[in-house]
């Protein structure tokens, strides 16, 4: 059987509704989704894959939902025959799944969470002649409680081992189902999807990517994925990267920088073309819709960089950190005066040596905004001089509580 060329686009981690230092980013999200719809039409994309974290929270606001459904409607009217959307750790499975029967009429296939039947994650896609053109193993984020049974007295290494085994066994199961559905059709591609932290994956400071499982050691090795996958489309990490140096196992990364630490990254979508053989994989850059700039230095260096941005007519959002050796209490006034009557906007100004007292202060140089919940807990342990072996036990117990709170689907009844 001869198959026409198939063009698949891989994206993930939209995080619709996310803010940056309380600044709403709906305009950026809207511009990205408009660009993505145009790119799909221009490149004649057949299949769109979205590998998790569609929304930033399990209770997305009306504006975020509106952007999502407007995009699905727009793309359903283009050349794109299918969209496959899987849930991420930030998504509410029940929220994503609620309209899936309706969306299926528009060839939008949604898998918010695993079910009792792995067959439901294996989606056979058909062309306009009702001929199968691809098989998608649409594996969503696998929650701890879905793949691991808890046993009294088990150690952390036992938990991690069971998690990895559970993930591997799940992928093996869906891979076998996909192979059986291929029924000997030689060039019918099988594409895997996932939302997880692969071994060797890199993250960026402040990007909000968190460890998915208690202890932070349950990262998935490239060998956990079935050999039948002709391409593996992953989500969760915000930087575009290969898995295990493989050209066909990839993270596409987030479409916009989620923090100032990501401000210098070239954001991408990944185009995968199948034409009777091994896929051709190419990265395509996403335009920058809102420039982010991180500025550090003493007062002279900060002012110089701000003047340079002013001369460029920049409208960047700024994170400014004073690192001079002398105390300087008028930093905010200096910055706001310098950028007055420009399009520049300072979202955050930090003064590393200014002595500030108050409840937000943690140590000499940090505020609560600088720390995540795990770091705050470690500081509490330090303050109370909690040592081993009890410390590790308390940390794991705390992480289990936090992960349980984050992992609960509050929309489910």
- Is a pLDDT exceeding 60 seen at residue 370? no
Q: How many CB atoms lie within 10 A of CB 384?
A: 8
Highest mean pLDDT among 32-41, 152-161, 360-369: 32-41
- pLDDT higher than threshold 60 for residue 359: no
Which range in 38-47, 128-137, 147-156 is most confidently predicted, on average pLDDT?
A: 38-47
Residues 273 and 315 reside in one and the same domain: no
Distance CA 234, CA 193 (A): 6
Range of the domain at 325: 292-354
Q: Are residues 334 and 217 in the same domain?
A: no
DSSP states along 236-302: S-SS-EEETTEEEEEE---SS-SSGGGTT---EEEEEEESSSSPEEEEEEPPPSS-EEEEEE-HHHH
Scan for tokens 């001079």, then name that residue.
324
Work out the number of other CB atoms within 10 angstroms of the CB of residue 110.
Answer: 24
| Residues in contact with 289: Cβ distance below 8 Å, sequence separation at least 6, in sequence order | 27, 28, 31, 32, 35, 256
* Residue 364: pLDDT over 50: no
Q: Is there a domain that residue 172 lies in?
A: yes
Give the single-character DSSP code of 46: S
Which two structure tokens, joined as six digits, stand for 238? Answer: 């915000």
**Domain presence at residue 259:** yes
With a CB cutoff of 8 Å and minimum separation 6, the contacts of 223 are none
Q: What is the pLDDT of residue 355?
A: 39
Q: How confident is the model at residue 160 (pLDDT cuts 50, 70, 90)?
A: confident
Tell me: do 317 and 187 sit in the same domain: no
What is the count of structural domains for the chain? 3
Give the chain's length. Answer: 413
pLDDT of residue 157: 72
Same domain flag for 275 and 182: yes
Structure pTM? 0.84
Q: Is residue 303 situated within a structural domain?
A: yes
Query: Would you state the pLDDT for residue 362?
Result: 44
Joined tokens for residue 356: 């500030």
CATH code for the domain in which residue 318 is found: 3.30.160.720
Are both 166 and 304 inside the same structural domain? no
Looking at per-residue pLDDT, the higher value among 87 and 384 belongs to 87
Q: Are residues 147 and 249 in the same domain?
A: yes
For position 215, what pLDDT does the model report? Answer: 47
Asked whether residue 379 falls in the same domain as residue 300, the answer is no
Task: Determine the average pLDDT of the residues in 203-211.
Answer: 60
Burial 277-307 (b: 16+ CB within 10 A, else e): eebebeeeebebbbebbbbeeeeeebeebbe
Q: Does residue 279 sit within a domain?
A: yes
Residues 149 and 164 occupy one common structural domain = yes
CATH number of the CATH domain containing 169? 3.60.21.10
Angle, helices 390-407 vs 373-383, to 10°: value is: 150
More confident residue, 204 or 43: 43
What's the rounded Cα separation, in Å, for the pair 276 and 375? 51
Tell whether 141 is covered by a domain.
yes
Q: Are residues 149 and 199 in the same domain?
A: yes
My answer on whether 100 and 244 are in the same domain is yes
403: pLDDT strictly greater than 70: no
Residues 146 and 50 in one domain: yes
Positive or negative torsion for Cα 177, 247, 90, 63: negative
């Amino acid at each position: 059987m001869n198959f026409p060329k198939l063009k698949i686009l891989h994206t993930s981690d939209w995080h619709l509704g996310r803010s940056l230092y309380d600044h709403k980013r709906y305009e950026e999200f809207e511009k990205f989704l408009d660009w993505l719809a145009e790119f799909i039409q221009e490149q004649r994309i057949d299949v769109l894959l979205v590998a998790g974290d569609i929304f930033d929270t399990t209770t997305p606001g009306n504006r975020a939902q509106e952007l999502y459904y407007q995009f699905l409607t727009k793309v359903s009217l283009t050349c794109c025959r299918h969209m496959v959307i899987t849930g991420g750790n930030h998504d509410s499975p029940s929220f994503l799944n609620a309209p899936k029967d309706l969306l299926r009429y528009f060839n939008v296939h949604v898998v918010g969470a695993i079910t009792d039947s792995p067959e439901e994650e294996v989606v056979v896609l058909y062309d306009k002649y009702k001929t199968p053109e691809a098989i998608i193993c649409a594996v969503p984020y696998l929650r701890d409680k879905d793949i691991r049974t808890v046993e009294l007295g088990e150690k952390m290494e036992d938990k991690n081992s069971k998690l990895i085994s559970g993930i591997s066994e799940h992928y093996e199961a869906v891979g076998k189902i996909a192979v059986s559905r291929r029924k000997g059709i030689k060039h019918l591609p099988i594409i895997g999807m996932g939302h997880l932290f692969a071994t060797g994956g890199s993250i960026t400071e402040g990007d909000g990517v968190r460890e998915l499982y208690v202890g932070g050691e349950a990262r998935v090795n490239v060998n956990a994925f079935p050999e039948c996958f002709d391409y593996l489309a992953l989500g969760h990490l915000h930087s575009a990267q290969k898995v295990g140096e493989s050209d066909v196992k990839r993270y596409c990364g987030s479409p916009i920088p989620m923090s100032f630490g990501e401000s210098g990254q070239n954001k991408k979508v990944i185009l995968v073309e199948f034409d009777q053989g091994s896929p051709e994989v190419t990265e395509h850059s996403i335009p920058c819709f809102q420039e982010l700039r991180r500025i550090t230095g003493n007062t002279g260096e900060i002012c110089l960089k701000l003047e340079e941005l002013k001369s460029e007519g920049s409208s960047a959002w700024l994170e400014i950190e004073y690192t001079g050796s002398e105390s300087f209490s008028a930093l905010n006034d200096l910055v706001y005066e310098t950028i007055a009557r420009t399009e520049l906007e300072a979202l955050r100004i930090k003064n590393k040596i200014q002595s500030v007292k108050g409840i937000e202060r943690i140590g000499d140089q940090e505020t609560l905004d600088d720390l995540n919940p795990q770091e705050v807990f470690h500081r509490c342990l330090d303050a109370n001089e909690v040592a081993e072996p009890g410390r590790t036990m308390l940390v794991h117990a705390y992480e289990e509580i936090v992960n349980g709170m984050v992992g609960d689907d509050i929309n489910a009844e």
